[in-house]
Amino acid sequence: MTVVSNRNYSSFGSAELEAKTHGNTDDALVIRFRKLLLEEVDLAELSKLDANQRRARLERVIAHLVTREGVVLSTSERNGLIRRVVDESVGLGVLEPLLADPSISEIMINGPETVYVERRGRVERVNATFSSNDQLLQTIDRIVSTVNRRVDESSPMADARLPADSRMPRGARVNVVLPPLALNGPTVTIRLFPKAFSLEQLIGFKSIDRDTAGLLALCVEARLNMIVSGGTGSGKTTFLNVLSSFIPGAERIVTIEDAAELSLDQEHTIRLETRPANVEGKGQITIRDLVRNSLRMRPDRIIVGECRGGEALDMLQAMNTGHEGSLTTVHANSPDDALSRLETLASMSDVVIPFTAIRDQVNSAIDIIVQLNRTLDGSRRVTQVAFVLSRRQEEFEIVPIMRWDPERRNEDGTTGAFLRYPLPEKLIHRLRLVQMQPPTDWTVTA
């Protein structure tokens, strides 16, 4: 992973970045030069320039002002000061380095002085602070105004999806709650969308091996229903995106998500996203509403970002009635657990159906479960691919097709290997039904 390079950090070393994140530059100087800058230049005028040009122009002006005012600073202090003044005048200030950091998945601002981030699944406090409440409000305004939204005293809550742009390299979902509703001060939660990794990258990270990926690609093409299972941050969405890339380009795909994180390359893709209730508690559109609606949109495939409620039942029904080849993710620790979880979620639906009928739906719908795990060193891996054998109302019976064995010693001295198991007859049959040849080189290693 690399830090997105179309930003202007290149001319600054990490020490400056560090100083900026940690707010070491003298706040009084920043405020003083920001004020001077605003007296000297018309920001509205500059808004016609693109972000990089505007930044370069402002940097020159501030450098000039610093010299004119006779402030004595070291080169790095001077650069840090210039950068902060520009950031606070046009950019997202202390948030910029956080937004550019690929290891951060969430930024949580609890008032001007408290900023937390989630990094590799862990929440930690960072030293970044805003110089005042006003500055934080101004930053919020800059964030939401890109999507023509406003938050102020009269409408103190906002939830918006931000497209990727020069300031937000990955796109994000942002939620804002202002006082008097938020007692900590302006509160902002920014969920940064994961960078879409390609299959080649996942193979490069040893998250999956090429043969298993090839088999899964066949299964997607053959319209088997699949679920990706894993814990929070185990890479489910990322893997779902890769699985989706195996869908043939001629098919009509409808994706349904709480926050549109998936980025499919297929042209014929319809992206749907839920909407939270407004301040009066009205107008909510749930995953479930969208799944039901999508059935009327003539989809070839339905992809649901995550099943975590009653929509599981609708999803199972869709998978069983002509929308084979649909994909979703579920929060579970093993393939077995994933099936039970789907069963539980489906029973949360407002449609009352007997338990045995739900079991039947799960058994008929789900063909393949891809289990992901996050390891202690922060890497993510497909730890199992399992096939569902059980039918109708039988107890769940699943067999592994591939399993990661962390202890296996390899010839080259490394440990850990993807072990292959015999392909179940039923799977081979499913592939042959659609004139697809099961892989002949699936040499069993377990």
Ligand X SMILES: Nc1ncnc2c1ncn2[C@@H]1O[C@H](COP(=O)(O)OP(=O)(O)O)[C@@H](O)[C@H]1O
CB 325 within 8 A of CB 220: yes
Given 8, 129, 237, 373, the residue binding Mg ion (CB under 5 A) = 237
Q: Which two tokens stand for residue 258?
A: 């709480």
The stretch among 199-207, 269-277, 292-300, 340-348 that binds ligand X (CB under 6 A) is 199-207
Residue 394 neighbours by CB distance under 10 Å: 11
CB 403 within 8 A of CB 394: no
Cβ proximity to Mg ion: between 83 and 236 the closer is 236
CA distance 196 to 379: 15
The count of chain residues that interact with ligand X, using the rule CB under 6 A, is 17
Buried b (16+ CB within 10 A) or exposed e, 227-245: bbbbeebbbbbbbbbbbbb
Give least dist CB 197 to ligand X, A: 6
Given 25, 89, 105, 269, the residue binding ligand X (CB under 6 A) = 105
Q: Which of residues 362-381 bind ligand X (CB under 6 A)?
A: 379-380
Question: Tokens 């930690």 map to which residue?
Answer: 124
Cβ proximity to Mg ion: between 258 and 300 the closer is 258
- Applying CB under 5 A, does 328 fall inside the site for Mg ion? no
Give least dist CB 354 to Mg ion, A: 31
Give least dist CB 310 to ligand X, A: 20
- Applying CB under 6 A, does 194 fall inside the site for ligand X? yes
CA distance 321 to 372: 28
The stretch among 26-34, 229-237, 358-366, 384-392 that binds ligand X (CB under 6 A) is 229-237
CA distance 169 to 335: 34
- Applying CB under 6 A, does 167 fall inside the site for ligand X? no
Cβ proximity to ligand X: between 111 and 230 the closer is 230
Residue 444 neighbours by CB distance under 10 Å: 9
| CA distances from residue 237 to 231, 242, 262, 267, 305 in whole angstroms, order as listed | 11, 9, 7, 20, 7
Give least dist CB 308 to ligand X, A: 12
Kindly state the DSSP code that residue 395 receives in the 8-state scheme. P
Cβ proximity to ligand X: between 80 and 233 the closer is 233
- Residue 294 contact, options ligand X, Mg ion, none, Cβ 5-8 Å cut-off depending on partner type: none
- Applying CB under 6 A, does 230 fall inside the site for ligand X? yes
Given 8, 139, 187, 234, the residue binding ligand X (CB under 6 A) = 234
